[in-house]
Amino acid sequence: MGRRPIRRVGSLTVSTKHLPRDVLEKVLAHDAPFAELYGFVVEEYGEGTATVRLPYNQKLIRPGGTINGPAMFALADFAMYIAVMGAIGPVALAVTTNMNIDFLRKPADTDLIGEVTLLKLGKRLAVGRVDIHADGEKELCAHVTGTYSIPPRD
């Protein structure tokens, strides 16, 4: 089974000078094939921003009828990775060093959207915020802060 490319949504411009769309697709296929397990859709990204969709999947529902926490964490972590790469380019070894998630309310039974904004981008660390909400809703179901370690570059 071949890898499917990241789906494009509408006519959004999804490229940065550091990370053209075709390069992003190659990097994810090679370095992050786990993204296919969740079905993540990179809707848009920029230099330090990203919007990623986690499609609703009954297999991700936990007892109590809500999406499981690890799936929401994975959405936040993956979205932050996209925002970091959008800012600095494809760096496979940029890794999560810390991530905190506050679950605010049960999301609706629909896709979840993770919207990232990098708050600080330094030589060795990137700090960001991820707001997660159900598709079509403005009220947050989770608020995430995270830090990525950026390896030394030549």
pLDDT tens, 139-153? 999 999 999 999 987
Amino acid at 10: G
Helix (H, G, I), strand (E, B) or coil at 123: coil
Let me know if residue 99 belongs to a domain: yes
Q: What domain count does the chain have?
A: 1
pLDDT of 70-127, one tens digit each?
999 999 999 999 999 999 999 888 999 999 999 999 999 999 999 999 999 999 999 9
Cα three-residue angle 83-43-82, rounded to 5 degrees = 20
**What is the residue range of 127's domain?**
34-149
What is the rounded distance in angstroms from the CA atom of residue 8 to the CA atom of residue 145?
Answer: 26
Let me know if residue 10 belongs to a domain: no
How many C-beta atoms lie closer than 10 Å to residue 137's C-beta? 14
Q: What is the CATH number of the domain that holds 83?
A: 3.10.129.10
Let me know if residue 42 belongs to a domain: yes
Count H helices, E strands: the chain?
A: 3, 8
Rounded to two decimals, the pTM is: 0.88
